[in-house]
Amino acid sequence: MNSREKILGAISINKPSLIELPVIDIKSTSSLSVDWVDEFIKTLESIGGKVVQLSSIDLIKLEIQQAKLRGEYIVNTLPVLGEVNNEINPTMEASLLESIDRAYIEGSIGVAENGSVWLYEHQIKNRLLPFICQHLVICLNINKIVPNMHEAYQQVDVAKEGYGVFLAGPSKTADIEQSLVIGAHGARSLLVYLIN
């Protein structure tokens, strides 16, 4: 008998008799009169992220142009914002990605209760991109904000692609005497543009 058989066999002997699976029926009483966009902004800002509401993407396009002129390595993955960086593909080497200053990617939905944004693999082009860049910018449709994780999981299909992530704010740590430091191993900052 191999280990798999031994383990599954032991479980089948030792497990208790079947207990019913509960139905998830969360009635969030706090959800009745809350502005979800407002909640999203407040929460994301409280965890170190920055949020800017825009009705036009012109400002972003300008920002990208100016940064490129300054010589920064800017990665843009959204065609509407201008030229897209075609060198960013799933197999691009980490050592090359390391020099990216700022990356602009598109998010799918935002979650108000925790300030997170769901990113599909196809949106980030390379799995390392949102982590290895120094600064991350996410463009999110302001109408795509849901109250909580239950609704989030109904809106996105996390198994559709090989990878996806709920990303909430810049990377951080409090491992040194509980002092919060923003910018651990992932991006040092997160800016979310909520676009109308």
Partner 1 sequence: MNPKNFNRLFFVPIQGAGLSHSAAAEIFNKDEERTDWHDETLWFVREKRDKAVKQISEWEQLRTLGSDIKDHTLSNLDVYLAEFEKNAQANGIKIHWAIDAEEHNEIILGIIREQKVQQVVKSKSMLTEECHLNDYLAQRGIDVVDTDLGERIVQFRNEPPSHIVLPAIHLKKQDVSETFHEHLGTEKGNNDPQYLTEAARQHLREKFIKSQLAITGVNFAIASTGGFVVCTNEGNADMGAHAAKIHVASMGIEKIIPKVEHLGVFLRLLARSATGQPITTYSSHFHQPRVGQQMHIIIVDNGRTKQLGRPDFRSSLKCIRCAACFNTCPVYRRSGGHSYHTAVAGPIGSILNPNLDMKANADLPFASTLCGSCSNVCPVKIDIHVQLYKWRQVLVAEGFTTGGKKVAMKGMAFVLSHPSIYRISGKIGRWIMRVFPFIFNNKSFNPWYKQREMPEAPEQSFRDWYKKNKK
Residues numbered 52-81 forming contacts with partner 1, rule: CB under 8 A = none
Stretch that binds partner 1, among 60-68, 69-77, 79-87, 164-172 (CB under 8 A): 164-172
Which stretch, 2-10, 53-61, 62-70, 73-81, contacts partner 1 (CB under 8 A)?
A: 2-10
Q: Does 4 bind partner 1 (CB under 8 A)?
A: yes
Using CB under 8 A, pick the residue from 8, 34, 59, 62 that binds partner 1. 8
Tokens in use for 185? 């191993």
Question: What length does the chain have?
Answer: 196
Q: How far is the CB of 71 from partner 1 (least distance, A)?
A: 21
Which of these segments, 53-61, 68-76, 94-102, 137-145, binds partner 1 (CB under 8 A)?
Answer: 94-102
Residue among 74 and 124 whose Cβ is closer to partner 1: 124
- Contact partners, residue 115, CB within 8 Å, separation at least 6: 40, 43, 44, 45, 46, 47, 49, 168, 169
Q: Can you tell me the distance from the alpha carbon of 71 to that of 82, in angstroms, rounded to the nearest whole number?
A: 17
- Show the beta-strand stretches assigned E in 17-131: 50-54, 74-76, 102-106, 109-111, 116-120
Residues 106-125 that bind partner 1 (CB under 8 A): 111, 113-116
Residue 13 within binding range of partner 1, rule CB under 8 A: yes
Distances in whole angstroms, Cα of residue 136 to Cα of each of 11, 49, 147, 169 = 45, 10, 23, 9
